[in-house]
């Protein structure tokens, strides 16, 4: 029977009678009925159980919750006519108070927290190295047995990770080069060296900006896609099905994705370099009214073949890092949709972080080698 409350006024007393089943099956109706217990000025409130048939901890908690709320407002309220077992149960539920520290675990001291952070970091590094070693084993096995390589999957990943990413990579490189050229020209104009903004843009595009923008775009696009795809397959137990049928998930899912991103990254970097030069040239010719031949000669004088290869040498390393991190976090997904989102986010953040660290190391090495 659905729960309800019937009110009645007698003299200077206001009584409410509980009716029906106050159980978890009717939790929503119990909440609504308990809120119907409304006091009136100068009227003491009496709660009766004329028609109460069943009650569990949900109903008892809602009744106590409403009584506590009214008592805090200064309303006098009492329980009458309850069966002994019902009254005892309601009082027992209302008297329970969690002990101090029971709801929230105590905050550990800073040495314990530092120890926990170090343990998590060491575990993450060990798992990452283990995954990298497994990838190398699968790669070596594929080199020894080329027939095991999933060439069709590799071609598909080249299209998805690179060909479809080409428009956004080219557009971003074009726009960033335009902004860089405009800001550089505005500053150099004070010294009458506006034309040398071409040198600034071309060198930065070839050495840093082209490959770095491409890596960041692929980390947000392809790296996250790898983590989400593999994580969803793991969530749907498709990876377990592959193992059951005798296929190695590392060979079927991971290796084609990593190789595709590693090999296609230099091509996308080259596209970003070209689009950066086009963007800088378009702005330079529009603002300084120079000819295309003059811009071309300025670029030829500013750029060296070494600058081009500095940027291109970083590309496969960045692609390898993004592919490894995306697949690693995809394989880490547990049995929940929340885990898919969490690992996808971690894949993007970790990819960009490792790309920045690798770029800094490359810069140090190139500086030492005077390249």
Please report which helix (H) or strand (E) contains residue 34, including its range: helix 27-35
Superfamily of 4-95 according to CATH: STAS domain (3.30.750.24)
- Mean pLDDT calculated for residue range 312-323: 93
CA torsion, ordered 340, 262, 127, 110, to nearest 10 deg:
-80
pLDDT at 107: 63
pLDDT at 321: 93
Q: Identify the band that residue 261 occupies on the pLDDT scale cut at 50, 70 and 90.
A: very high
Residue 111 has pLDDT above 60, yes or no: yes
pLDDT at 296: 82
pLDDT tens for residues 326-360? Answer: 999 998 888 778 888 889 999 999 999 999 999 99
pLDDT at 110: 72
- d(Cα 351, Cα 322) in Å, to the nearest integer? 5
**63 in the Ramachandran plot: left (φ > 0), alpha (ψ -120 to 50) or beta?**
alpha
- Looking at per-residue pLDDT, the higher value among 222 and 65 belongs to 222
Give the three-class secondary structure for 237. coil
The percent of residues in the chain predicted with pLDDT above 70, rounded, is 94
Cβ(44)–Cβ(10) under 8 Å?
no
- Mean pLDDT calculated for residue range 108-115: 75
Contacts of 155 (CB under 8 A, 6+ apart): none
* Prediction pTM value: 0.67
- Using the CB atoms, write b or e for 286-312: b if 16+ within 10 Å: eebebeeeebeebbeebbeeebbebbb
Closest CA relative to residue 304, chosen from 216, 371, 225, 244: 371
Q: Identify the band that residue 104 occupies on the pLDDT scale cut at 50, 70 and 90.
A: low
Please state the domain extents for the chain.
Answer: 4-95, 134-368
- Looking at per-residue pLDDT, the higher value among 263 and 197 belongs to 263
pLDDT tens for residues 287-299? Answer: 777 777 878 887 8
Contacts of 160 (CB under 8 A, 6+ apart): 222, 225
Residue 367 has pLDDT above 80, yes or no: yes
CB-hemisphere CA count at 13 Å for 39?
A: 19
pLDDT tens for residues 220-235? Answer: 989 999 999 999 998 8
Residue-by-residue DSSP string for 154-222: HHHHHIIIIITTHHHHHHHHHHHHHHHHHHHHHHHGGGT-GGGHHHHHHHHIIIIIHHHHHHHHHIIII
φ/ψ (deg, to 5) at 126: -65, -45
- d(Cα 187, Cα 184) in Å, to the nearest integer? 5
- d(Cα 191, Cα 187) in Å, to the nearest integer? 8
Greatest mean pLDDT among 42-51, 122-131, 139-148, 350-359: 350-359
In this structure, are strands 13-22 and 45-55 parallel, antiparallel, or unpaired?
A: parallel
Cβ(102)–Cβ(70) under 8 Å?
no
- d(Cα 47, Cα 8) in Å, to the nearest integer? 10
Q: In what order do the strands lie in the sheet with 13-22?
A: 4-10, 13-22, 45-55, 77-80
- d(Cα 23, Cα 192) in Å, to the nearest integer? 84
pLDDT tens for residues 87-102? Answer: 777 777 766 655 545 4
């Amino acid at each position: 029977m659905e729960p309800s409350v019937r009110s009645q006024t007698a003299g200077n007393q206001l009584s409410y009678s509980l009716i029906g089943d106050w159980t978890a099956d009717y939790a929503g109706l119990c909440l609504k009925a308990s809120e119907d217990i409304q006091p009136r000025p100068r009227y003491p409130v009496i709660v009766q159980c004329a028609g109460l048939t069943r009650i569990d901890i949900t109903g008892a908690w809602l009744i106590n919750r409403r009584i506590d709320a009214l008592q805090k407002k200064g309303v006098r309220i009492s329980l009458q006519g309850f069966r002994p077992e019902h009254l005892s149960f309601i009082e027992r539920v209302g008297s329970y108070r969690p002990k101090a520290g029971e709801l929230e675990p105590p905050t550990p001291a800073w040495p314990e927290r530092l120890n926990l952070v170090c343990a998590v970091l060491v575990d993450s590094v060990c798992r990452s190295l283990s995954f990298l070693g497994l990838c190398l084993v699968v790669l070596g096995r594929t080199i020894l047995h080329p027939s095991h390589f999933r060439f069709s999957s590799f071609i598909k990943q080249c299209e998805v990770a690179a060909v479809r990413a080409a428009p956004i990579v080219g557009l971003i490189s074009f726009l960033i080069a335009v902004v860089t050229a405009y800001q550089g020209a505005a500053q150099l104009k004070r010294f009458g060296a506006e034309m040398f903004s071409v040198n600034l843009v071309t060198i930065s595009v070839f050495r840093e900006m082209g490959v770095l923008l491409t890596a960041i775009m692929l980390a947000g696009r392809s790296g996250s896609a790898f983590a989400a795809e593999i994580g969803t397959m793991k969530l749907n137990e498709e990876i377990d099905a592959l193992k059951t049928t005798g296929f190695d998930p590392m060979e079927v899912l991971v290796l084609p994705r990593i190789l595709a991103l590693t090999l296609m990254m230099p091509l996308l970097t080259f596209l970003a370099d070209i689009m950066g030069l086009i963007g800088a040239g378009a702005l330079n010719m529009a603002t300084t009214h120079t000819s295309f031949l003059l811009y071309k000669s300025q670029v030829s004088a500013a750029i060296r073949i070494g600058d081009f290869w500095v940027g291109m040498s970083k590309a496969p390393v960045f692609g390898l890092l993004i592919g490894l991190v995306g697949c690693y976090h995809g394989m880490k997904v547990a049995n929940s949709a929340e885990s898919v989102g969490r690992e996808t986010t971690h894949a993007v953040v970790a990819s960009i972080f490792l790309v920045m660290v690798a770029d800094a190391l490359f810069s140090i090495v190139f500086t030492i080698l005077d390249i």
